[in-house]
Amino acid sequence: QVTLKESGPVLVKPTETLTLTCTVSGFSLSNARMGVSWIRQPPGKALEWLAHIFSNDEKSYSTSLKSRLTISKDTSKSQVVLTMTNMDPVDTATYYCARTTMYRGYSYGIYYFDYWGQGTLVTVSS
């Protein structure tokens, strides 16, 4: 049974750095074609992809937030960590981690989020 669970602070102050941890079970972070993405959703707004990391340590970041984000993984702990610097009230959102399956073949490919955590609400306020 695949599960993902987000953990981290519920409240951060403006300009602080947010550190979120996604703990996974039911699969290994060393599995080929499997990785973890971070996705957020401000209250009442759309989902926004932030970053992903795969078993071969391939990483990618949202173009608009790239300068503020760092994603890493600890395979032995089954954890993926996202840090976001210089937090602002507009970063208030529910942050989700999601298992991401990717396969890039010659004539066929896959990239999607097949399992999601329950999400964690992070509020940015002084």
Residues forming the site for another protein (CB under 8 A): 37, 39, 46-49, 52, 60-64, 96, 101-102, 108-114, 116-119
CB of 28 to another protein, least distance (A): 20
**Locate tokens 């990618």: which residue?**
60
CB of 90 to another protein, least distance (A): 17
Choice between 61 and 81, CB closer to another protein: 61
CB 74 within 8 A of CB 13: no
46 to 2, 23, 42, 93: CA distances (angstroms)? 25, 24, 7, 10
CB of 126 to another protein, least distance (A): 27
